Structure formats: structure tokens, C-alpha cells
């Protein structure tokens, strides 16, 4: 196992520290390191990172999804309308649906829609770029039609349903420390299982002292996070949801045949097909997973704003792609990791949060987001060329 830090790891770490230091030391950004803002940042990170994890699933086999931003708005809008004003969607006057039922039905719609896009891509060989670009426009139009170009609150009069609690509920102090203990135990178990498996297959083992040092540093970072969150209201439930999604995506991509198929298709689709991998089924499955994650993101983004309106989800697809590429995911497929995506999402969330604190104008925000995306793609191209030369 290669335990050395790559050039990308070092540059991205330095970039994150530089961005954080700039916003913390800027005269107008004095609240950047306050517990309240860091809590808000963690919620924003959760929303961005969850969508980026879904993008990882479709990027690994060499696909892409440009419709996720519009999908976030559409699905969040459908759920809000079913809870608050079902007559907008169903055409008849009736009481609002219970939040769990509305969220479940919206999730079913998401899986069906993204499965259809996956089938068009896999069975009819329509480029993913075209299908999802069309989806971007269709979903945006459906969103506007569902909410009738109006603003609909998530909950009437406050935070009294499951939908709104997705970004307004916080764990208690003791529950937060309980999460720390549970995650720490999972980290130790993962390290032990990994070492046992590598030893069973005769692979080189990492030095125990280095393993302990890395785990100890991770513990310290996690404990610091819990302490800071408890200075405000506790760990946001959004972060717990992010942890659950990240764990599931990690298990899927690294410990299941489906995940190995994703990497194989992205590395060489023709070779994967000849080796017996059901390429079409895997691609459709990847988009179905994407649909579930877009729905979750839509619920959280709409809940965080407190309402659904025409601007919800706008350009979120660019943030998701940028987070993946910054974290080392290749746009050509075959390369990417959950940890890298989380790191890339942290950079994007920190940048957006800091610019909001500094009251940066919307046009400059767009320039910054576009610049980060271009820089990330450029780095991906350069690194891919270097790797091709090494393997040649």
C-alpha cells in the first residue's frame, strides 16, 4: 500500500488551509471561525458532499449527470408541494400529505426518472452528456410548473415536520459524544479488518506506528469537531446523514462487485464487457443510485432554505462535479474515492461560505466557482497525462 502523500493531496491541503486562513483573517470575516458559522458550514458541506458522492457513482464508469442541480430543485419542490399544497400537483383540494409519505413517494419518482435516463444511456447509446443536459431543462421546467413559479414553505409556521428537521435538528451534547465514540470504534475496526485481509492475501502491511498515528490524528480532528459543534447546538443531523451516505457509498464502491464493476467500466468499458461484466445493468444501477442521492439532496437543500422556489438547486451540478474532480475523481472514469470527494466538497463549501460572509457579489461568486471548476479539470488532465506517461 502506498502511504505517501501525492502532489494533489499536498496542494489541495495547502489550498484548503489558505482559503480558511484568508476568510478567518479578513477584517470582514471575523465570524468565520465562530461555532455558529462552523455549524452552518457543516450543514452546507453535508448538502454539497452528499450530491458529490452521487456524482462519484456516475463518474466512476465514465458517465456524467448535468441534471442533478435541476433535479434537486424539482424533487424538493415536489415533496414540499405534497406536504403543503397538494392541489398544485394533484389538481384537487385535499389535506397535505404526512411528511414521511411525501418524501417516500418523491424518492420513488426519483428512482424511476433516473432509471429511465440510465436505460436511454445504456441501451440506446445516447451520450450521457446529452441525456442529462436535456434532463436539466426538463426538470427545471417541471419544477417551475409544480410550484407554479411561487415560493412554498417547507413547513407551515415553523419546524414541525420531518422535512424541515433534516437541517434544523441537532444532536444533544451527550449524543454528539456518543457519535464520536461510535465512529472511533468503527475506525479501529476498519483498520483491523483491513490489516487482517491484507495479511491473508500476502500484501505488504503498513507500519503499525504509522497506522496508529493516522488514526490518532483522525480521532483528534473528530473530537475537535464535536467540541466545536457542542459550543453551538450540537452536531447537526445533516452531518449524521452525510456520514451514513458516505459510509454506504464507500461500502458500495470498495466492498461490492457492483463497485468493482464501476471502476472496471471506467478503466476500459470494452475490456469490462469482454470479461463478462453486465455493463448495461451496472450503468442503469449507477443512475438509480444517483436518483436516490439527488432526492436526499433535494430534501436537505429545500429544508435548509426553509422553502422551495425557482432558484433552489441552481448550478449545484457544477459544485458536485468540481468537488469530485478536486478530490481526485477522473472525468474519464476509473479513478476516485469517497475520502477525496469529501475533501473536495469541503473546499467548495468553505469557499462559498466564506464568500457569503464577506458579502461577495453574486457575479463574483459565479466567477470564483467557475474558476475553481476549470482549475480542477485542468489538474485532472495534467495528472492523467503524467500517469499515462508512467504506465506507457
pLDDT per position as a tens digit, 181-222: 999 998 888 888 888 888 888 888 878 888 888 888 889 999
Query: Grid coordinates 464507500 are at which residue?
Result: 250
pLDDT of residue 302: 94
Contact 147, 309 (CB under 8 A): yes
Mean pLDDT computed over 59-78:
96
C-alpha cell at 149: 413559479
Confidence band for 244, pLDDT divided at 50, 70 and 90: very high
Q: Mean of the pLDDT values across residues 311-319? A: 92
Chain centroid, CA 384 distance in Å = 23
Burial 145-169, CB ≥16 within 10 A → b, else e: ebbeeeebbbbeeeeebbbbbbbbb
Predicted structure pTM score? 0.93
**pLDDT tens track for 164-190:** 888 889 999 999 999 999 999 988 888
More confident site: 386 or 347? 347
Query: Is the pLDDT reported for residue 2 higher than 70?
Result: no
Write down the pLDDT at residue 95.
80
Task: Say if residue 1's pLDDT is above 50.
Answer: no
Least confident of 88-92, 138-142, 310-314, 384-388: 384-388
Give the pLDDT of residue 157. Answer: 47
CA 319-325-328 angle, to 5 degrees, is 145
- pLDDT the model gives residue 146: 94
Residue whose C-alpha is closest to residue 19's, from 296, 357, 312? 357
H or E segment to which residue 293 belongs: helix 279-305
Per cent of the chain over pLDDT 70 is 93
Q: Which three cell numbers stand for residue 54?
A: 452521487
- Do residues 153 and 306 make contact, with C-beta atoms less than 8 angstroms apart? yes
pLDDT at 16: 85
Structure confidence by residue, pLDDT tens digits, 129-167: 999 999 999 999 999 999 999 999 887 544 457 888 888
Q: What is the pLDDT of residue 298?
A: 96
- Mean pLDDT for 79-92 is 87
Residue 126: phi and psi, rounded to 5, are -80, 130
The DSSP secondary structure of 231-256, one letter per residue, reads TTTS-BHHHHHHHHHHHHHHHHHHHS
Quick one: pLDDT band at residue 88, thresholds 50, 70, 90?
confident
Detail the DSSP E strand segments found in the chain: 152-153, 307-308
Q: Report the candidate in 132, 113, 120, 129 with the shortest Cα–Cα distance to residue 68.
A: 132
CB-based contacts of 124, cutoff 8 Å, min separation 6: none
Query: Which residues are paired to 87 by β-bridges?
Result: none
Amino acid at each position: 500500500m502506498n502511504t505517501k502523500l501525492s502532489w494533489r493531496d499536498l496542494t489541495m491541503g495547502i489550498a484548503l488551509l489558505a482559503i480558511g486562513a484568508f476568510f478567518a483573517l479578513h477584517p470582514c470575516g471575523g465570524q468565520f471561525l465562530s461555532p455558529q458559522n462552523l455549524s452552518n458550514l457543516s450543514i452546507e458541506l453535508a448538502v454539497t458532499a452528499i450530491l458529490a458522492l452521487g456524482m462519484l457513482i456516475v463518474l466512476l464508469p465514465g458517465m456524467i449527470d448535468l441534471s442533478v442541480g435541476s433535479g434537486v430543485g424539482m424533487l424538493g419542490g415536489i415533496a414540499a408541494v405534497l406536504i403543503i399544497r397538494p392541489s398544485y400537483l394533484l389538481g384537487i383540494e385535499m389535506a397535505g400529505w404526512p411528511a414521511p409519505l411525501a418524501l417516500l413517494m418523491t424518492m420513488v419518482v426519483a428512482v424511476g426518472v433516473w432509471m429511465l435516463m440510465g436505460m436511454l444511456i445504456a441501451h440506446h447509446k445516447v451520450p450521457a452528456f446529452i441525456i442529462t443536459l436535456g434532463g436539466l431543462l426538463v426538470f427545471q421546467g417541471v419544477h417551475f410548473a409544480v410550484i407554479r413559479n411561487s415560493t412554498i414553505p417547507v413547513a407551515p409556521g415553523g419546524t414541525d415536520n420531518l422535512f424541515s428537521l433534516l437541517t434544523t435538528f441537532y444532536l444533544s451534547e451527550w449524543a454528539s459524544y456518543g457519535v464520536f465514540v461510535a465512529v472511533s470504534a468503527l475506525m479501529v475496526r476498519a483498520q483491523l479488518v483491513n490489516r487482517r485481509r491484507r495479511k491473508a492475501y500476502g500484501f505488504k502491511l503498513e507500519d503499525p506506528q504509522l497506522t496508529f498515528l493516522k488514526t490518532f490524528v483522525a480521532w483528534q480532528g473528530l473530537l475537535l469537531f464535536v467540541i466545536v459543534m457542542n459550543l453551538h447546538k450540537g452536531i447537526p443531523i445533516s452531518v449524521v446523514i452525510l456520514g451514513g451516505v458516505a459510509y454506504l457509498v464507500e461500502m458500495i464502491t470498495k466492498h461490492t462487485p457492483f463497485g468493482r464493476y464501476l471502476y472496471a467500466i471506467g478503466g476500459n468499458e470494452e475490456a469490462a464487457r469482454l470479461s463478462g461484466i453486465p455493463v448495461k445493468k451496472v450503468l442503469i444501477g449507477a443512475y438509480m443510485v444517483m436518483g436516490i442521492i439527488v432526492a436526499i439532496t433535494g430534501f436537505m437543500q429545500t429544508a435548509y432554505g426553509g422553502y422551495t422556489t425557482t432558484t433552489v438547486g441552481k448550478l449545484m451540478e457544477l459544485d458536485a462535479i468540481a468537488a469530485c474532480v478536486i478530490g481526485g475523481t477522473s472525468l474519464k472514469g476509473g479513478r476516485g474515492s469517497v475520502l477525496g470527494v469529501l475533501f473536495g466538497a469541503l473546499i467548495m463549501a468553505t469557499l462559498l461560505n466564506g464568500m457569503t460572509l464577506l458579502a461577495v457579489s453574486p457575479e463574483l461568486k459565479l466567477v470564483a466557482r467557475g474558476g475553481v471548476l476549470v482549475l480542477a479539470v485542468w489538474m485532472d488532465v495534467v495528472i492523467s497525462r503524467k500517469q499515462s506517461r508512467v504506465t506507457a
